[in-house]
Structure 1
Amino acid sequence: MKFRRSRRENVEINLAPLIDVVFILLLFFVVSTTFTRETQLKVDLPEAASGTPPEQTQLKQLEILVGADGAFSVNGQALLESNLSNLMAALQKESEGDNSLPLIISADGKSPHQSVVTAMDAAGKLGFTHLRITTVEAQESP
């Protein structure tokens, strides 16, 4: 007895739903991902009627930024806690133990006086001798 073989249909996988699922997953991951944004302190420098412009030097410089709220930033890297020990550790790390580097303190005009004193205290305890406090030139009032 001879049986007729039934023709097999070609089996194809429809990729359209798979592509839809992949795009939905991609969209989900893009929306749910959080990106960290590095921020710098915005500092409005106080005014001074006299002063000298800083010398151009080839040496590495250290800069302490003191924000209006008293937050510290060393060479653009914000400190998590604004206290003396963290500031000293950050200065020691950035200077790599070389306390002959020039140190610039840029404090906001509205920053607490204690924060500026803390920055100067940290510099003094680490032995920095070339210290400069930045200001902007005062505008003449008409």
Structure 2
Amino acid sequence: MSRKRKFDEQQEGEVDMTPMLDIVFILLIFFIVTTSFVREEGLLVNKPKANKAQKSDSPIILVRISSTGLITFNGKSVDIERLAARIESFTAKSPTTSAVVIPSYETTHENVVKVIDEIKQFEDIIVSIGK
């Protein structure tokens, strides 16, 4: 009787993992096939062509953004709220069609987008991003 008991205990401990692995792989395939990938919209940036550089006599609006969020407009410090007014007064004195935004490496994307949005209020100004 003791021999039969050892044999029964040994068989009770074995579990076949193959069906469970099959189910896991089927679920994995199901989720991969049914997943829909969403393409995220980004910010459109106009990059100038290097080989077609044209020399223009019109002045350029130069906006720099420091790592702390300090904005300078043609070398003078300005708040984000007053940037549009500065651009408007600058274009009234000397018409221009281009603006260059030069962010610092540590600048947050939020600050860069805010500055570009302020410049984009003027439809005739083309915005470029520099280093």
Structure 2 length-normalised TM: 0.54
Change (3 A) 1:55 1:132: farther
Question: Equivalent residue for 2:114?
Answer: 118
Question: Equivalent residue for 1:64?
Answer: 63
Distance 2:73 2:129 in 1: 14
Q: Which residues of 2 match residues 71-110 of structure 1 at below 5 A?
A: 71-79=70-78, 82-83=79-80, 85-96=81-92, 100-110=96-106
Give the length in aligned residue pairs.
83
> 1:121: Cα distance to partner?
0.3
* Structure 1 residue ranges without an equivalent (≥5): 1-49, 136-142
RMSD across aligned positions (CA): 2.4
Q: Which residues of 2 match residues 1-142 of structure 1 at below 5 A?
A: 52-53=49-50, 55-79=54-78, 82-83=79-80, 85-96=81-92, 100-135=96-131
Residue type matched to 2:113 in 1?
V
> 1:52: Cα distance to partner?
3.9
Q: What percentage of aligned pairs have identical amino acids?
A: 12
Q: Going by fraction, where is helix more abundant, 1 or 2?
A: 2
Deviation >6 Å, runs of 4+: none
> 1:128: Cα distance to partner?
3.9
Distance 1:55 1:71 in 2: 31
Distance 1:67 1:115 in 2: 10
> 1:96: Cα distance to partner?
1.5
Structure 1 length-normalised TM: 0.50
Distance 2:60 2:85 in 1: 16
Distance 1:109 1:71 in 2: 13
Contact 1:103/1:130 (8 A) holds in 2: yes
Residue type matched to 1:118 in 2?
K
Distance 1:56 1:92 in 2: 23
Contact 2:60/2:100 (8 A) holds in 1: yes
